[in-house]
Amino acid sequence: MNKLLSVLFAFLLIVPSMVNGGSQDIKKKQRALEQLRKEIDEYETRIRESEKKEKATLERLDDYEKQSNLVRSLLSGLVDEEEQLQASIALASDNITFLEKQISFLKLHYAKYVTAVYKFGRVYDLETLLSSNSINQLYIRIEYLKRFSEQRQRDLQKIQEKRQILETEKADLEQKLDEQRDVISSKEKEKEFLDYKKKKRAQVLRAIRKDKATMKKALVRKNHAAEELEGLITDLVEKERIRKEHEAELARERSAERERLKLKPVEEPPTEPGIPFQSLKGKLPWPVATGAVVAHFGNQVHPVLKTITQNTGIDIAIKSGSTVKSVADGEVAMIHWLPSYGNLVILRHPGGFHTVYAHLSEISVAEGQTVSKGTVIGKSGESIGGSLLHFEVWKEKEKQNPESWLSRRGE
């Protein structure tokens, strides 16, 4: 009985810390979500100020896209929060079930004990004292009976305390259930808000496509964005070079140390396992299942404005929301947003190669994540040029013609 009580009380010391730990995580998540809501509201203010002007602007288009990205992050956070709440509710339910069983057990055994004491206690206590063989034994038995009575009182007190813990657990559970309902309600509202913003952004896109002056501005901005993208690739290549040099230096130091200690050399593992990207030229799968190339690599003449711009990749016309996949094994080097490119993902591949996937409406990967050929990295979206995916291939700092790397359709 005493052993059972010790196990129960030890468990009850752990339960509050488990519940409090989960609550702290939820509060931290809620603070992050509140910050996202604040940023969303700031963009909403900017957009409303912009909408007071009749003419649609590229800046308003950017604000719509950035705001939509924040709303998607908020939705993802709400989903995480709902899962955390469900886990906390499940834990609280398990704790309550455990407490109920243990309290029922204590009450049952304590009731039997009280009945026995009521029927035989006084007589038994008196017989115990009178049967003492000596004064010393009498004193010991008196002390024993005193302590035993105090223990009964403590047992009763502990049962009452456990009942109070149980009631608190139930109250916490009810509060969590209310919070979960709020999370679900908030998630549905954010989904509706995101759908509304998609429609508003589509209206701005249609207006911009009809305005030649704004389209000219968009082309100029795209050239600047292409330069910025090239800078991002250059930075990634440089960071990778520094990382490899550092790893090589560490390998030399390890080798020198082993040689100094006259240890057997250890074969270093390959730094870039997998199929060399260079060997995949002309064999890469397409990042989207269907769609035709509407803008090829190199110089392009705008069909309406007749201006010449350089395309650093290819544009594949594809229905918005189509699945976009990695063309080869690699790692997510960067997730970014750029004017004229929107949401983009840059993958790092063995041999100093990078691939770029732009105009994504949704992103399904995280920076640093290892991906395999065919891994879903997101969904295609909408650009000023229409519903398309922009795709690029880079070898170190040199842009490549993606069509030279992709396999022929049907292969």
Q: Where are the alpha helices (DSSP H) in 210-293?
A: 212-260
Could you tell me the end-to-end alpha-carbon distance of the chain, in angstroms, rounded to an integer?
Answer: 74
What per-residue confidence (pLDDT) applies to 256?
A: 85
Rg (CA), the chain: 35
Dmax (CA) for the chain in angstroms is 119
Secondary structure (3-state) at 164: helix
pTM for this one?
A: 0.69
Residue from 251, 247, 244 nearest 351 by CA: 244
- Residue 35 CA: distances (Å) to CA of 29, 30, 83, 166, 237: 10, 9, 20, 35, 34
Sequence letter at residue 399: K
CATH topology of domain 212-264+283-405: Glucose Permease (Domain IIA) (2.70.70)
The residues near 240 (Cβ < 8 Å, ≥ 6 apart) are 348, 352
Domain locations along the chain: 2-209, 212-264+283-405
Report DSSP state, residue 324: E
Q: Angle CA(62)–CA(65)–CA(67) in degrees, nearest 5?
A: 105
**Integer Cα distance of 398 and 376 in angstroms:** 26
Query: 338 has which bridge partners?
Result: 342
Secondary structure (3-state) at 395: strand
**Integer Cα distance of 8 and 182 in angstroms:** 34
Query: 315 has which bridge partners?
Result: 295, 390
Local confidence pLDDT in tens for the 411 residues of the chain: 455 555 555 555 555 555 555 566 667 777 877 887 887 788 788 777 777 666 667 888 888 888 888 888 888 888 888 888 788 778 877 877 777 777 777 677 666 666 655 554 444 454 554 565 666 766 665 666 566 666 666 766 776 677 677 778 777 777 877 877 887 788 888 888 888 888 888 888 888 888 888 888 888 888 889 999 999 999 999 999 998 889 888 888 888 887 878 777 666 665 565 678 999 999 999 999 999 999 999 887 766 666 777 899 999 999 999 999 999 999 999 999 999 899 999 999 998 999 999 999 999 999 999 999 999 999 999 888 889 999 999 999 999 999 999 998 755
Element (H, E) at 331: strand 330-338
Element (H, E) at 340: none
Dihedral, CA of residue 370, residue 372, residue 373 and residue 376, to nearest 10: -70
What per-residue confidence (pLDDT) applies to 397?
A: 92
CB 346 within 8 A of CB 390: no
**Integer Cα distance of 394 and 401 in angstroms:** 9
What per-residue confidence (pLDDT) applies to 232?
A: 95
CB 360 within 8 A of CB 373: no
What per-residue confidence (pLDDT) applies to 123?
A: 45
How far does CA 8 lie from the centroid of its chain? 36
- Residue 47 CA: distances (Å) to CA of 62, 63, 199, 382: 10, 7, 14, 19
Query: 112 has which bridge partners?
Result: none
CB 310 within 8 A of CB 361: no
Secondary structure (3-state) at 360: strand
Element (H, E) at 57: none
**Integer Cα distance of 402 and 386 in angstroms:** 20
